[in-house]
Structure 1
């Protein structure tokens, strides 16, 4: 088992908080449209930080744990791209001004980290107390994979989100944005702005993605420290990645299919681990290096196949996929 001192935890969290504080400061002090060059610079910066952390961690903890970190980071990074699809839909649905998208994304990342930290602690506790939780997590990922594959060509209905519905019932919503404010006054009454509703929608989506991504990364490693750092460094680069690739996301037409296959693979890995521990040691397990190779291979195939598809069929556009079928009215609108 990986032994991580309180000082190491504090130092790691301090680095992550400092990076988040940098993002929040830039969003608050200089709201602006993020250009391509700026997005590239920040994307490269966060990737370098994540890789540098992985190299140092591997040198200190050993190759096995280092491999688990990089496998977890790649899993979370690939799932975060699907996150970006939904963020694009939210921004488009609520017509968020470009100068405020930076702030919305930073808020989404902070909230996602908080939610995932909670789920990581809960998941690590459950796995340490009950070995059958590997079976539960595995079955959850298999179910998610099947649902995502079935509805891979659909988009989630943001307005149908339960959290958004509750917010609309609790607060009157203004028709227009009021700068970067969450609340304003309309005819003398205090009302929420559309920006408030956007943040609520982002929060609801973050919760759903946390429920899927945490079991997925626990399929790669059982170490809470690795799960947390893999999630944190994958999410930290999400803001810059959004501005970098939002124009290219439409071309990843097979991404949802690839993610469904990855989730199913990790689900099988978790179930095999449970059977190996609780039923018989003769049941084979899937090693972390094999998992890493399979995940990278799937992502490479998905990316190449998507680019070939969109080159041959320029009208083809990617969808983020959904865990439930679209309502009949939505299907009618899409046709």
Structure 2
């Protein structure tokens, strides 16, 4: 895939312009987006990402197009998981809803910058050290295990890192609009808004460690890695407000991502063996009998895993909700009967309360 410096510059410039437009058109004035606004812009950015992938397929061939779509799906799924942690952070810091857009926007920009740096580092490592695929593969397998058996219940707002930040910086107890710092009694104080952004930046760093090895397991093209990440992050702010409570219903998303990361980890190890140069493995010769997993299979596997995890999550939470409603309905007569038993020896006012409860 031949990408000239001019194409790189245009791509980066257009990406920056999109985020600048997002800030001035939607984020600069604090407000809570409506469902309609979020739906329209989410559809726009997803459609744009799909059209870009078709363009890559038409111009550079469908092998590269398939790599882009597999990478985009993986990064989008990881970004949604990232949103879940953003939600925990903002809940922990009690960020008012009208200021959440600004926090999300800054968090997404930090994520893009960090991933851009990791992409450049990853490209340099892959170009010079083929054995890096072993490390990437092993890292993804470890991350898959942590993703499957870890927990999002811990609040990054109360983690050790944020405790250290609070000891270093003077922090106000209340928000001052969307200001990051405020001057009180001649002293500069940090607001909870800045603490929230610091926490989200720290989370972004952790997620960059997940996402970059994962997509390099699907393509070696730095341009595809960057654009798949950029499009996965575009529209993420609107998606947060669109799916809202649905985030909490995706209870199997972590397990689905664990399966995807493990799959890509195995794919990377297979590729590392196929291009092996380490002297203590097969005398430094490639193991050509090791299969290379084709991109079409990767694309199908990732898409199917995301679909199964989503459907299973929604069915599970819907079933649990229906059972809870049924239990409440079935439990009401028992409570009423218990009240009636007590009214036999109780004052008349309790009996009146019992009949009132039954009427509801």
What is the TM-score normalised by the length of structure 1? 0.91
CA distance in 2, matches of 1:67, 1:295: 12
Larger radius of gyration: 2
> Paired residue for 2:215, among 205, 214, 217?
217
SS in 2 for 1:280: coil
Deviation at 1:165, TM superposition (A): 3.1
CA distance in 1, matches of 2:21, 2:153: 32
Deviation at 1:20, TM superposition (A): 0.4
- Residue aligning to 1:101: 100
SS in 1 for 2:100: helix
Deviation at 1:264, TM superposition (A): 0.4
Deviation at 1:29, TM superposition (A): 3.4
Deviation at 1:299, TM superposition (A): 0.9
Gaps of 5+ in 2: 277-285, 324-360
- Residue aligning to 2:174: 176
Deviation at 1:177, TM superposition (A): 0.5
Say which is worse superposed, 19-28 or 276-285, in terms of deviation. 19-28
Deviation at 1:22, TM superposition (A): 0.9
Runs of 4+ in 1 over 6 A off after TM superposition: none
CA contact (8 A) 2:89 2:157 kept: no
SS in 1 for 2:182: strand
SS in 2 for 1:156: coil
What does 1:84-123 align with in structure 2 at a 5 Å threshold? 84-123=83-122
Say which is worse superposed, 197-206 or 167-176, in terms of deviation. 167-176
Deviation at 1:156, TM superposition (A): 3.4
Deviation at 1:26, TM superposition (A): 2.7
Pairwise CA RMSD: 1.4
Deviation at 1:187, TM superposition (A): 3.4
CA contact (8 A) 1:88 1:246 kept: no
Deviation at 1:25, TM superposition (A): 1.1
CA distance in 2, matches of 1:61, 1:221: 14
CA distance in 1, matches of 2:157, 2:322: 27
> Paired residue for 1:281, among 264, 282, 288?
288
Deviation at 1:163, TM superposition (A): 4.1
> Paired residue for 1:245, among 243, 247, 255?
243
CA contact (8 A) 2:274 2:292 kept: yes
Deviation at 1:315, TM superposition (A): 8.7
Deviation at 1:100, TM superposition (A): 1.0
> Paired residue for 1:262, among 253, 260, 263?
260
CA distance in 1, matches of 2:140, 2:250: 22
1:123-157 deviation per Cα after TM superposition (whole angstroms, max 9, x unaligned): 111111111100100000000111121224x4233
> Paired residue for 1:293, among 296, 300, 304?
300
Name the CA shift for 1:11/1:202 in 2 (closer, same or farther; >3 Å): same
CA contact (8 A) 2:27 2:105 kept: no
Name the CA shift for 1:309/1:24 in 2 (closer, same or farther; >3 Å): same
CA contact (8 A) 1:161 1:201 kept: no
What is the TM-score normalised by the length of structure 2? 0.84
- Residue aligning to 1:272: 270
CA distance in 1, matches of 2:154, 2:263: 24
Name the CA shift for 1:117/1:38 in 2 (closer, same or farther; >3 Å): same
- Residue aligning to 2:200: 202
Name the CA shift for 1:234/1:194 in 2 (closer, same or farther; >3 Å): same
What does 1:45-84 align with in structure 2 at a 5 Å threshold? 45-84=44-83
- Residue aligning to 2:22: 23
1:4-24 deviation per Cα after TM superposition (whole angstroms, max 9, x unaligned): 011111111121111100111
- Residue aligning to 1:322: none
- Residue aligning to 2:326: none
CA contact (8 A) 1:220 1:288 kept: yes
Deviation at 1:176, TM superposition (A): 0.5
Q: How many residues align?
A: 314
